[in-house]
Amino acid sequence: MKLAYWMYAGPAHIGTLRVASSFKNVHAIMHAPLGDDYFNVMRSMLERERDFTPVTASIVDRHVLARGSQEKVVDNITRKDKEERPDLIVLTPTCTSSILQEDLQNFVDRASITSNSDVILADVNHYRVNELQAADRTLEQVIRYYLEKARRQGTLDQSITKEPSANIIGIFTLGFHNQHDYRELKRLLQDLNIKINKVIPEGGSVKDLQDLPKAWFNLVPYREVGLMTAIYLEKNFGMPYVSITPMGIVDIAECIRQIQKHVNNLVSNEKFNYEPYIDQQTRFVSQAAWFSRSIDCQNLTGKKAVVFGDATHAASITKILAREMGIRVSCTGTYCKHDAEWFKEQVQGFCDEILITDDHTKVGDMIARIEPSAIFGTQMERHIGKRLDIPCGVISSPVHIQNFPLGYRPFLGYEGTNQIADLVYNSFTLGMEDHLLEIFGGHDTKEVITKSLSTDTDLTWNYESQLELNKIPGFVRGKIKRNTEKFARQNNVTNITVDIMYAAKEALSA
């Protein structure tokens, strides 16, 4: 047992559901007790989804506990098959159902006989993998299922497209700025004259998965999800993949050079040369290279920062801060413990120390000890920052609704470099401004405002009403006090009791 009230990565089934509900016309059925369908709330609220989340639960209740699910799961699958006619139904076990040790594969086999949809059982162990690992696995499982099916049916066409083309793997729902990153990647590939073959799982149809091998190569922008799929495709179809995250000027260039290498391997006569493009973009389209030379950024030299997040974002941001902006990264870390080796290798030489943990109190203690000028982390670090009065830029999941902005905010590609530069710069200046305010005694407007609002009064609050007033949350207390006193004056009451308070509320809200 572990004492905890915060976790960075969610339970495994969340990863599976994120992948399943990202595909078009795929339905997930959770084998779960009442209340475990919280995923629907997150997707509906955070992503502001207009459509019903294609996830339902086959409820595990007291009866199931006593007699087993029996027909229930099969019935629920066939019912969903009739109602929604999905292409694929993914039966998703949860941590509760996995200890029941029912033979879910058997349900899947039975249900697939009667239903028109394909039915698979998500193959994840809830006590060994987290949300991200599960998402990676499920994606690979779905791809494998459809490619093998196509191969069996003889519909698999392995010839590659005429023009250079790519699959983008790993864009999906509830991912940190994934929608914006996707747009930016599309633009990048377009600039390089590379067609996009398929994007999975977001918005993709499982019927089209057999076309995946037509692309020249695969692009896996995020470390956490998609790598297993890319490796599978490389092994079985000889497709090369690029897994360098195009985040930050140096890594974008590196990523493009890799793409060039793969593309040139497959063309015969004229070779592609992206160097002029990289040079043009770096010096004039992205403002980040110029920003690093500007006086603003000079002032950031040697300032201390702490970075924490998922492996992809924490590693990239660390490299950007240290290599591209001259900021001193005192500590960088990730909660992706399963990928610690890769992470350490990436940030080697760019930071003073490395922290691999999924315990937020350790991260908090580290930040308190280092006292950086700015933090780049998740929502948790933002709150740690609030408590310690250190500004924080959010660079990775887990996130709140404000990290699903409506405006265009990619982290990848050349526009991404601009966004990151803004984020970094704004975090530091805010900190600086705060600091200066403290030295010069702060803005002096506060006191004037309260003075004009406070009323030196003829009114007295008796003991009970004062107690009652103190129970009211701070941010509305002043308003309630003023309203009550106004009401008391209008009614010629000088002694304010609890009765008067409520009477005032009733009268004024009318």
Amino acid at 148: E
34 or 295: whose CB is closer to other proteins?
34
Helix (H, G, I), strand (E, B) or coil at 477: helix
Contact positions with other proteins (CB under 8 A) in 487-506: 498-499, 502, 505-506
94 or 282: whose CB is closer to other proteins?
94
DSSP string, 267-296: --SSPP--HHHHHHIIIIISSHHHHHHSHH
> What is the rounded CA–CA span in Å between residue 255 and residue 218?
12
Look at residues 46, 23, 52, 221 and name the one whose alpha carbon lies nearest to residue 141: 23
61 or 275: whose CB is closer to other proteins?
61
The alpha carbon torsion through 140, 126, 339, 370 (nearest 10 deg) reads: 140
Label residue 38 exposed, middle or buried (CB < 10 Å: 0-12, 13-18, 19+): exposed
From residue 262, give the alpha-carbon distance in Å to each of 41, 267, 414, 507: 42, 9, 21, 75
DSSP string, 223-266: SSSSHHHHHHHHHHH---EE-----SHHHHHHHHHHHHHHHHHH
Binding residue (CB under 8 A) for other proteins from 87, 100, 191, 359: 100
Contact positions with other proteins (CB under 8 A) in 165-224: none
Q: Cβ distance 13 to 93 under 8 Å?
A: yes
Per-residue interface string for the shown chain with other proteins, residues 394-433, x marking contact by CB under 8 A: ------x---------------------------------
CB of 259 to other proteins, least distance (A): 34
266 or 507: whose CB is closer to other proteins?
507
Q: Would residue 296 show up in a list of annotated catalytic residues for this protein?
A: yes
Q: Cβ distance 101 to 83 under 8 Å?
A: no
CB of 209 to other proteins, least distance (A): 20
442 or 478: whose CB is closer to other proteins?
478
13 binds other proteins (CB under 8 A): yes
Phi-psi domain of 289 (left: phi exceeds 0; alpha: psi -120 through 50; beta: other)? alpha
Contact positions with other proteins (CB under 8 A) in 19-78: 32-38, 40-42, 44-45, 48-53, 56-57, 59-62, 65, 76
Of the listed pieces 4-12, 103-111, 265-273, 421-429, which binds other proteins according to CB under 8 A? 4-12
Q: Cβ distance 497 to 462 under 8 Å?
A: yes
The conformation of residue 398, written as its DSSP 8-state character, comes to S
Q: How far apart are the first and last CA of the chain?
A: 53
CB of 482 to other proteins, least distance (A): 17
Binding residue (CB under 8 A) for other proteins from 68, 82, 83, 457: 83
Using CB under 8 A, count the residues that bind other proteins: 62
Tokens 């690029």 appear where? 242
267 binds other proteins (CB under 8 A): no
365 or 433: whose CB is closer to other proteins?
365
CB of 58 to other proteins, least distance (A): 8
Per-residue interface string for the shown chain with other proteins, residues 445-474, x marking contact by CB under 8 A: -----------------------x--xx--
| Strand-by-strand arrangement of the 374-377 sheet | 353-356, 328-334, 304-309, 374-377, 392-394
240 or 364: whose CB is closer to other proteins?
364
Binding residue (CB under 8 A) for other proteins from 24, 87, 95, 493: 95
43 or 177: whose CB is closer to other proteins?
43
CB of 488 to other proteins, least distance (A): 17
DSSP string, 88-120: EEEEEE-HHHHHHT--HHHHHHHHHHH-SSEEE
Instruction: Given the residues 61, 103, 296, 389, select the one marked as catalytic.
Output: 296
Contact positions with other proteins (CB under 8 A) in 269-308: none
Per-residue interface string for the shown chain with other proteins, residues 106-145, x marking contact by CB under 8 A: --------------------xxx-x---------------
> What is the rounded CA–CA span in Å between residue 460 and residue 463?
9
CB of 506 to other proteins, least distance (A): 6
Per-residue interface string for the shown chain with other proteins, residues 332-371, x marking contact by CB under 8 A: ----------------------------------------
Q: Cβ distance 165 to 197 under 8 Å?
A: yes
316 or 465: whose CB is closer to other proteins?
465
**Burial call 472-500: b when 16+ CB within 10 Å, e when fewer:** eeeeeeeebbebbbebbeeeebeebbeeb
Residues marked active site are found at 296
Which chain residues interact with other proteins by CB under 8 A?
Answer: 1-7, 10-11, 13-14, 32-38, 40-42, 44-45, 48-53, 56-57, 59-62, 65, 76, 83, 94-96, 99-100, 126-128, 130, 380, 383, 386, 400, 468, 471-472, 498-499, 502, 505-507, 509-510
